[in-house]
Amino acid sequence: MVMAGASVVATASERKVMTLKECMEYAVSNSTEMRIQQADIRDAQVERRSAILEAFTPSVSAGTYAYYNFGRSVDPETNTYRAVTSFQNGYQASGSIALFNGFQAVNNVKIAKTAEAMGLSRYSESRDAICLATMEAYYNVVYYSQMAKAMEEEVAAAKKAVQLARKQEQLGQKGYADVVQIEADLAAKEYRLVNTRNMYNDALLTLKDIMFWPLEEELEIDFSMADGQVMEQGEKLVMDGYLDTPSDIAQRAALSLPSVAIAKGEMLNAKRALNTSKWQLLPSLNLSGGWSTSYFTYPRENGYIATPFKEQFSNNMGEYIQLSMSIPIYGRLYRQATVAKRKNAYLRASARYDAKMREVESEVARALQDKEGAYAAFIQASRQVQVQNQAHKYNTRKFEQGMISPIEWQTSSGNWLAARAEQLNALLKYYLKRSVVEYYSGVPYLEQ
């Protein structure tokens, strides 16, 4: 488990290209949400410790007092009133423990233990949510970065086309209208390049924000997942877990997903709280005991000689032990109302757990479907890129020879760029959907 800690910012000399996993680890370790979850886990641990001590150890208290009395008071020796100043000093200690209170203490221990486990599950859930958000933002940065590079290539090709068209105009091979059309195409591509760069900067800012990366610091990430070799090997992608059925993955998800563990924990604790409230209708039994002693004197009475402190301390000492039973007879139906409310709470928690299990099954089926769809889309997009690439090369030669119009060449260029964009988008979407399926299969994002 990656626990959140102090934020660490690499210096310029230490900065390196960060992979997706490193970005996720950085986001988790610097997230304020993770620090909040850690505090909640520590609170749950304290609650569990308190529940254990309450269930198996007695409560013990001790005290002392000392006071002067300047009016009438009862003489402890003669049990008569005396109107002289007196001084009294006492000491006491007592302890008590519940022998039976409707299994409340035992159930509280179980509830606290489950709550601690739920805290760990919430920590894992927050960690996984941060990882998924980081992954999506990372892929957006990769996508717009590669699209910007593709647009730069398009702009460079369009500039060459403008230069060629101007030479052909001078030679009388093209008219002024054709040159203007090609220049307009260049301007449109330059606009799209600027817009794509803006979207890249926005995606990078989003990634920094999710990671809690210092906004003024440069963030360099690894773009190798979208390089030319990977893009060309589209049909060689391995469909990991492709043979797993939705029911198999759903069963693993039910055992590994933090959200399922949280829903189950809430249901169990609601059931224990209901049982506790039912047992509260029975009598409770408590055992207590204590010790006390005292000392007194009349400091302003002439001729009075007080018994020494040590002797009084021993003579006035007393102990007691008490066994008490409390029988609930009528409390304005408070206990009965509590049972009814906790029964409804258990029914709600049980319904939420069933809904969560149904939601997991649906999410698993959708994730598998999305993964297979993204895989098929990438294969088709890769084939489309190959065809559009050949067509564009052929149309470029024809355009240079004046065999097609600028509009036809622009259409060909646009089709090729669109095909490349679809291929990259399908590849990144496949990576994302594959990670989601592996997550449902029991593999956390940081371990993939």
The distance of Cα 327 from the centroid of its chain, to the nearest Å, equals: 46
The domain spans of the chain are 22-57+101-282+328-443, 59-100+284-327
pLDDT of residue 84: 85
pLDDT (average), residues 238-256: 75
**pTM to 2 decimals?**
0.78
Residues 376-401 pLDDT 10s: 899 888 888 888 888 888 887 887 77
CATH architecture of structural domain 59-100+284-327: Single Sheet (2.20)
Return the half-sphere exposure (C-beta side, CA atoms, 13 A cut-off) of residue 137: 23
Residues 146-156 pLDDT 10s: 889 888 888 88
pLDDT of residue 392: 81
Domain 22-57+101-282+328-443 adopts which CATH fold? Outer membrane efflux proteins (OEP) (1.20.1600)
Classified as helix, coil or strand, 319 is: strand
Q: How many CB atoms lie within 10 A of CB 336?
A: 12
Q: Could you please report the per-residue DSSP string of 27-77?
A: HHHH-HHHHHHHHHHHHHHHHHHHHHHHHHS-EEEEEEEEEEE-S-EE-TT
Identify the band that residue 230 occupies on the pLDDT scale cut at 50, 70 and 90. Answer: low
- Its sign, for the CA torsion 220, 221, 222, 227, is negative
Q: In what order do the strands lie in the sheet with 59-69?
A: 59-69, 86-100, 284-297, 318-326
